[in-house]
Amino acid sequence: MNEKKHLLCIVGTRPEGIKMAPVIKALKQASWARVTVLATAQHRDLLDQVLSLFDIRPDMDLNIMKDNQSLSELTSRLLTRLDEAFAELRPDIVLAQGDTTTVMTAALAAFYRRIPFGHVEAGLRTHDMANPFPEEMNRLVAGHLARWHFVPTQRSRANLLREGIDERAIHVTGNTVIDALLEIAEKEWPLDVPLDDARRLVLVTAHRRENFGAPLREICKAILRLVDHHEDIEVLYPVHPNPNVRAVVAELLSGHSRIHLVDPLEYAPFVEAQKRAHLILTDSGGVQEEAPALGKPVLVMRVETERPEAVEEGVVRLVGTDEDEIFTQASRLLSDAQAHAAMARGVSPYGDGHAASRIADILERDLAGADGVVVGSV
């Protein structure tokens, strides 16, 4: 490979920053690659925190975030601004991770410019366009525009094969979140939250768009019941800045001495909180991947998951958003030591910490023209 290839890595949200950080680092160490990092800042402060942790400085920042913006407004502005950026930067390849509006519009803008697109964490599916919303649509669009599909598991590969994706374009690499997690989990990090070491910690995250309104109220009522029925627990809930989340959580959960409502934690303290937790309640995708690797039982407050591998392993359980079901399932794990131990086995079906290096190796091989790969077409 005589000339370095220009790879444009795009990040918009905190999870994207976490999961792309190992990829960006691996590519920057590659002699054949010239790497540019573009931040859309779909999540401003949350993204900045994690990029700083991994010592990544965006070369271009679109600063796209506005308070309470609609999906149509966000999508239209992202598509326009990304197209302008691609025209200016002229990358050989665009890479993005996951299922956000940033990723979907990056794939579409790259397609319009005939720039090959690589999809990190490809192939996740619930087969339900309403759950999660709009992420299922986003990953379907990105998945059918991608030239490279870097999938975390064999199930993700099977999903893409069923959709007619060429098997030569699908690569099982593991999930880069495990790369990032293992790096951070090696150290102890300050939490700066006044937790009582004599009590068991229940960590909560709930912020997904499909849970806005009544489902989030059910979740909050279940948390209150848990604290009232289990005097030896305390709850740590880093609250997402979206006003649809903050207003409900403040109304229902403020003022309880054993419920700590805090601003979103930076990634390293959040990993520390997972390490200390006895039980995790979440609607997050990334937590479903991270917590099992740390040996923590996870109850997922959603009706569907695109990460069924951990459910099948018995270390994650879907409980939906019904107050009674959340309370019953969580109480069982808080009261039954054997049930808790059965889910706290440290099983990680999502990777071994080497996903990013595999992605870099695959791109180097393909860009060198091995196996008859044609680069530069979509």
Contact present, 153 and 311 (Cβ < 8 Å)? no
Query: Is residue 61, in this structure, part of any structural domain at all?
Result: yes
Residue 363 has pLDDT above 60, yes or no: yes
Residue 378 has pLDDT above 50, yes or no: no
What's the domain range around 304?
Answer: 200-343
User: What CA–CA distance (Å, rounded) separates 156 from 118?
Assistant: 15
Q: What is the pLDDT of residue 369?
A: 75
Contact present, 329 and 321 (Cβ < 8 Å)? no
Query: Is residue 233, in this structure, part of any structural domain at all?
Result: yes
Claim to verify: residue 149 and residue 263 sit in the same structural domain: no
DSSP class of residue 141? H
Query: Is residue 362, in this structure, part of any structural domain at all?
Result: yes
The rounded mean pLDDT for the chain is 94
Residue 44 has pLDDT above 90, yes or no: no
pLDDT tens across 206-250, in order?
A: 998 889 999 999 999 999 999 999 999 999 999 998 899 999 999
pLDDT tens across 197-208, in order?
A: 999 999 999 998
Report the SS3 class of residue 129: coil
Q: Which of 16, 135, 266, 309 is catalytic?
A: 135
Claim to verify: residue 90 and residue 145 sit in the same structural domain: yes
Q: Would residue 218 show up in a list of annotated catalytic residues for this protein?
A: no
Q: Which of 16, 121, 136, 210 is catalytic?
A: 121
Claim to verify: residue 122 and residue 255 sit in the same structural domain: no
Number of folded domains that form the chain: 2
Q: Which of 44, 240, 302, 307 is catalytic?
A: 240
Claim to verify: residue 54 and residue 95 sit in the same structural domain: yes
Percent of the chain with pLDDT over 90: 88
Residue 13 identity: T
Claim to verify: residue 127 and residue 52 sit in the same structural domain: yes
Question: Any idea what the CATH number is for the domain that residue 213 is in?
Answer: 3.40.50.2000
Claim to verify: residue 127 and residue 205 sit in the same structural domain: no
pLDDT-based confidence at 372, cuts 50/70/90? Answer: very low
Put simply, whether the predicted model's pTM sits higher than 0.85 gets the answer yes
Nearest to 330 by CA among 270, 277, 274, 272: 277
Q: Would residue 135 show up in a list of annotated catalytic residues for this protein?
A: yes
Distances (CA, A) of 146 to 98, 120, 160: 12, 10, 11
Residues 6 or more apart whose Cβ sits within 8 Å of residue 340: 278, 279, 297, 333, 334
pLDDT-based confidence at 276, cuts 50/70/90? Answer: very high
Q: Would residue 209 show up in a list of annotated catalytic residues for this protein?
A: yes
Q: Which of 119, 207, 276, 302 is catalytic?
A: 207
Query: Is residue 90, in this structure, part of any structural domain at all?
Result: yes
pLDDT tens across 175-217, in order?
A: 999 999 999 999 999 998 999 999 999 999 999 888 999 999 9
pLDDT-based confidence at 377, cuts 50/70/90? Answer: very low
Query: Is residue 251, in this structure, part of any structural domain at all?
Result: yes
- Long-range contacts, stretch 239-245, CB < 8 angstroms, 24+ apart: 239/263, 239/264, 240/205, 240/206, 240/207, 240/264, 241/45, 241/46, 242/68, 242/207, 243/67, 243/68, 244/68, 244/209, 244/212, 244/213, 244/216, 245/206, 245/207, 245/212, 245/216
Query: Is residue 194, in this structure, part of any structural domain at all?
Result: no
Query: Is residue 188, in this structure, part of any structural domain at all?
Result: no
Distances (CA, A) of 289 to 52, 160, 182, 295, 353: 22, 20, 12, 11, 12
Q: Which of 34, 113, 209, 230 is catalytic?
A: 209
